[in-house]
Amino acid sequence: MTSEDKQILDRINEYADKVLKDFDPQKTQVSFQLEKVRPIMEEIAKEKGTSVEEIFIKYMDLASEVTAERETKFQNTIGNMTKYGDVHDA
């Protein structure tokens, strides 16, 4: 992930945290969540000279990448646990 990609991801996530803070993401329709974050995506798209759709696709790709990295780290930690729950070096 480039520094520019990280900046885009961070900006959208920070904005989403503000505008969606009172909503449970598990109980809120995705379409509603997307409408709430659309303004920041429009702003970024305008700055980058691209479409909102391109920013949305980039955001989804970056978010998936971060989720996969976190899952890998989690699985590596779980895989390195002893029967007592302590993490040991592989």
Q: For 59-73, what is each residue's pLDDT tens digit?
A: 999 999 998 888 888
Q: Is residue 87 part of a domain?
A: no
Q: Is residue 75 part of a domain?
A: yes
pLDDT of residue 85: 56
Place of tokens 């699985």: 75
Q: Is residue 57 part of a domain?
A: yes
Q: Is residue 84 part of a domain?
A: no
Q: Is residue 46 part of a domain?
A: yes
Q: Is residue 88 part of a domain?
A: no
Give 47 or 74, the one with higher predicted confidence.
Answer: 47
Q: Which residues are CB-contacts of 90 (< 8 A; sequence separation ≥ 6)?
A: 79, 80
Q: Is residue 89 part of a domain?
A: no
Give 79 or 48, the one with higher predicted confidence.
Answer: 48
Q: Which residue segment(s) compose the domain that 25 sits in?
A: 3-79
Total tally of structural domains belonging to the chain: 1
**Is residue 52 scored above 90 in pLDDT?**
yes
pTM attached to this predicted model: 0.75
Query: Helices then strands (H, E): number in the chain?
Result: 3, 0
